[in-house]
Chains A and B, each alone.
Chain A
Amino acid sequence: MIELNGLSKRFGEVVAVDNLSLKAEDGKITGLLGPNGAGKTTTLRMLYGLQKPDAGSVRVDGVDVHRDLVKAAERMGIFPDTIGLYDRLTTREHLRFYGEMHGMEGQQLEEAIQRTQGYFAMDDLLDRRCKGFSHGQQMKVALSRALIHHPRNLILDEPTNGLDVMSIRLLRDLLSRLRDEGQCVLFSSHVMQEVSVLCDHIYIMANGKVVADGDPSQLCEQAGEENLEDAFVALIRSEVELQEERAR
C-alpha cells in the first residue's frame, strides 16, 4: 500500500508537484495518468525517495520513505523512467547483482532469477551481455530488475514505452497476475488505452495536481463524457487553461 500525502516540490520558480495526495491499495492496479510535463516522474521520484519533497510525506506499507529509505526500499520494486543497464554485464549478472542488493544469496537468489526471467521468456538473453540489446530487450531486463525480490509494491514509470505488442501483452498479464496475488501496483502513463484496460483506479494529473480520480466509469461520469479519452481531455482542460492564463 502506497500513500502520498500533500506532496509538493518546486524547482526554482517552477512548481512541479503541488499538494498532491494519492493512495494505491493492495490488490489493485492504480494508474497515474497525465500529459507530458504533468509532474508524474517527479511524483514517483519522491515516492521512491531520490527526490526530497518540500512538503508532505510518503508511506509504503506504513514506512515513511524519507525517514527510513532502506526499509521502505525493501518493500518496493521500482522501474524508473530510465533503463540504465551495464553494457558489459549479462542479463543473469544484472539480476544476480540486484538480487544481492536486496540481500538475497545462494539458492534463494538463483530461484529468484529463474522465476523472474520466466516472466518475460528471456532464456535467450540470460547469458548475453546487454550491449546491443534492442530497446524492448533492455526494458525486459529493467522490469525483471524491479521484480527480482517479489516486491509487495511495484512502481513503474511509463513501463510500456518502446515495448512491442507481444511484450506489452506479457506485461499486462504480469501486472494482472500480481494484482490477483494481492500486490500493490502503481504505474504512470500518458497512453490512455493501457490505463483504461488495466487500471482499477485512475488518478489524472495536470500541472502537478490531481484533477480527478476514480475508476474509469466514475471518471466518465464526472466529466459527462462517453469514453475515457474524452473524459481525460475534459478533466485536464480547465487546469491547462488556467495555467496558460497565468503564463499570460
Chain B
Amino acid sequence: MSRFKAVLKKELVDSIRDRRALMVAMLPAILGPVFMILMLSSAAETRRQTEDLPLGVMGREHAPDLMAYLEDNGIALEDFEGDPKAEIQGKNINVILSVPAEYGEKFADFEPVTVELFADESLEKSDNALRRVNRLITTYNQNIGRYRLMLRGVSPTAVTPLNIEVRDFSTRTSRAGQILATLQLLMLMAAFFGGAGVAIDTTAGERERSSLEPLLVHPVSSLAIMGGKWITVAVYATLASLMAVVSTAFTLDMISLEALGVDPKLTPSMQMAIFAAMIPMAFLASSAQMLVSLFAKTFKEAQTYLGMLTLLPALPVMFTMFRDVKTAAWMYSVPIMGQQQLMTSVMRGEGMPALGFATAALVTTAAAILLFVVLTRLLRSERVVYGG
C-alpha cells in the first residue's frame, strides 16, 4: 500500500510539472463546449433574422389585407421611400414591394393589379428574401383566386389538381435532440482527452525514456505500479470530465439557444448527476488508453492510436442522433452509450433513471477493472519492458 502511494505521488508530481501537456489535456474540455455553443448560437441568430424578414413597402396603405397577410407570415413591414435600386444594391434593404394607388379600385373590380418586387438576384440575401416574399404573395394570389371562384359557384379544387405538402423533418424537437447530442459528445470526449497525455507518458513514454526497466527491478508488485499509474490517469480524465460539464453548464447559462427551439440549462444537481455518471467511464477510458499505449512501439505511435480512441464516443452518439432510437434497457449496459443515455435523461429534465445508472456504472466499472487486470499482467512481460 505504501508503495502504491509512492508510485501515485511520483506520477502525480511528474505529470503536474508537465504544464504544456496539462494544458493540452484540459483546454479542449473547457473550451470545446464554449466554442460549440457559440457556433450554435450564431446559427440561432441567423435563423431569427430569416424569421423576421424586413420588407420595404411603397404604398402600404393601398392594400391593407395583403399587408396583414404578410405580417402574419413573419414579414416585418417597413414603409419605404426613395430609390429602390440604390437601397438594395447598397444592401440597406433586401427586397421592396411597391403597391400602386389603384390597387383597391382594381381589386374590387376583379381586375388584375400589378405589384412590383424590387430585388437583386445576384445578391444572396436579396435573392432569398425575394423568393420568400414572392412565395407568400403567390399563395395569397391563389387564395384570393379560390375565394372568387367560390363566389361564382365553382369549386376551387377544379383549379388545383395537385396538392403539394412539404414535410420538413427538421422539427424543433429533433433539432433539439441533435443539439443535446452534440453537447453530450463534447462532454464524453473530455474524459478521453483529459487522460490521454498522461496515459501515454506513464506507459509508452516510460519505456521510451528507459525508466521502466529500472523501476521494475525494485521489490514492488505490478499491482502497486499499475495501480498508481491508473489512478493518476483517471484523476486527469475525471477532472477533464468535470470541467467539461461545468463549462457546458456555464456557457449554456450565458448564451441562450432559444431560437433553435431548445434552451437546455444544467442546474447544479443536473451537473452532479452527469458528472457522477461519467466517473466510471473516465476510469474505463484511462485503462483502455493505457492498454493501447502499452502495446504501441513508440510515444508517437501511441498518440496516433489514442487519437482514434478519442473518437469512440462519437459512435453511440451518432447512432442515437441519426436513427432517432428510443432508449432501451440494453443500452445502459454498453459503456459510453449507457452514459450518453443517462445524460439524455438528465438533460431533458427527466431525472436520473436509478436502474440505468446502476447498470451503466456496474458494467463500465467492471470493464475498467478487467482492462486494469490485463495491464497488470502485461507489465512485466518482455514485450512490454523491452519492446519488440
Question: Which residues of A are at the interface with B, using a C-beta cutoff of 8 A?
Answer: 45, 48-52, 69-71, 73-74, 76, 78, 80, 82-89, 93, 97-98, 100-103, 105, 142, 145
Closest beta carbon of chain A to B224's beta carbon, Å = 9
Chain B residues, CB < 8 A from A84: 209-215
Contact with B217, one of A52, A80, A105 (Cβ below 8 angstroms): A80
A–B Cβ pairs within 8 angstroms, 20 of them: A50-B213, A50-B216, A51-B386, A70-B220, A71-B219, A78-B214, A82-B210, A82-B213, A84-B211, A84-B214, A84-B215, A85-B209, A87-B209, A88-B14, A101-B6, A101-B219, A101-B220, A102-B218, A103-B3, A145-B214
B2 touches A (CB below 8 Å) = yes
Interface centre among B3, B210, B212, B218, by most A CB within 10 Å?
A: B218
Residues of A within 8 Å of B311, CB to CB, are none
**Chain B interface residues (CB < 8 Å from chain A):** 2-3, 6, 10, 13-14, 17-18, 209-221, 380, 382, 385-386
Chain A CB count within 10 A is highest, among B14, B18, B219, for: B219
C-alpha gap A184/B2 in the complex (Å): 29
In angstroms, Cα B382 to Cα A98, docked, is 22
Contacting residues, chain A, for B214 (C-beta < 8 A) = 78, 80, 82-84, 142, 145
Q: Is the CB of B215 within 8 A of A101?
A: yes
Question: B217, A49: Cβ atoms under 8 Å?
Answer: yes
Cα distance A159–B199 in the bound complex, in angstroms: 32
Q: Is the CB of B217 within 8 A of A83?
A: no
| Residue of B with least CB distance to A79 | B214
Complex: chain B residue closest to A52, CB-CB: B382
Main secondary structure of the interface of B (DSSP, over half): helix
Q: Is the CB of B218 within 8 A of A101?
A: yes
A101: which B residues are within 8 A, CB to CB? 3, 6, 215, 218-220
Output the nearest chain B residue to A97 by Cβ-Cβ distance. B10
- CB contacts (< 8 Å) of B210 on chain A: these are 82-84
How far, in Å, is A178 (CB) from chain B's closest CB?
A: 18
Query: Cβ of B3 and Cβ of A86 under 8 Å apart?
Result: no
Distance in angstroms from B220 CB to nearest chain A CB is 5
Contact B382–A50 (Cβ < 8 Å): yes
Cα-based distance from A103 to B18 in the complex (angstroms)? 27
Q: How far is the CB of A140 from chain B (nearest CB, A)?
A: 14
List B contacts of A70 (CB < 8 A): 219-221
Tell me the smallest distance from the CB of B214 to a CB of chain A, in Å: 5
Contacts of B218 in A (CB 8 A): 73, 98, 101-102
Chain A residues whose CB sits within 8 angstroms of the CB of B219 once the complex forms = 69-71, 73-74, 101-103
Q: A105: which B residues are within 8 A, CB to CB?
A: 2
State the CA gap A36–B212 with chains docked (Å).
23
Q: Compute how far the CA of A101 lies from the CA of B14 in the bound complex, rounded to whole angstroms.
A: 16
Once the chains are docked, how many angstroms separate the CA of A203 from the CA of B77? 102
B17: which A residues are within 8 A, CB to CB?
A: 88
Q: What is the distance, in angstroms, from B219's C-beta to the closest C-beta of chain A?
A: 4
Q: Known pairs A50-B386, A84-B215, A100-B6. 4 more at Cβ < 8 A?
A: A50-B380, A70-B220, A93-B10, A145-B214
Complex: A235 Cα to B192 Cα, angstroms: 58
Report the bound CA distance from A80 to B207 in whole Å.
Answer: 13
* Cβ-defined partner of A73 (8 Å) among B211, B217, B386: B217
CB distance from A187 to the nearest CB of B (A): 15
Nearest CB of B to A116, in Å = 15
Most buried by B among A51, A69, A93: A69
CB distance from B65 to the nearest CB of A (A): 78
Cross-chain contact B13 with A103 (CB below 8 angstroms): no
A78 x B217 contact (CB < 8 A): yes
Residues of B within 8 A of A52 (CB): 382
Measured in the bound complex, the distance between the Cα atoms of B380 and A50 in whole Å is: 7
Bound state CA distance, A199 and B256, in angstroms?
79
By Cβ-Cβ distance, the 9 closest A-B pairs, closest first, are A84-B211, A82-B210, A84-B210, A100-B6, A101-B218, A73-B219, A88-B17, A78-B217, A74-B219
Shortest Cβ distance from A55 into chain B, in angstroms?
A: 16
Give Cα A93 to B16, complex, Å. 14
Q: How far is the CA of A71 from the CA of B218 in the complex (A)?
A: 10
Q: What is the bound-complex CA distance between A89 and B13, given in angstroms?
A: 8
Report the separation of the CA atoms of residues A89 and B380 in the bound assembly, to the nearest whole angstrom: 24
Most chain A beta-carbon contacts within 10 A, residue among B6, B14, B221: B6
Compute how far the CA of A98 lies from the CA of B214 in the bound complex, rounded to whole angstroms: 9
Which residue on chain B has the smallest CB distance to residue A129? B17
Chain B neighbourhood of A102, CB < 8 A: 218-219
Residues of A within 8 A of B18 (CB): 88
**What chain B residues lie within 8 Å of A49 (beta carbons)?**
217
Q: How far is the CB of B385 from chain A (nearest CB, A)?
A: 5
Chain B residues lying within 8 Å of A50, measured Cβ to Cβ, are: 213, 216-217, 380, 382, 385-386
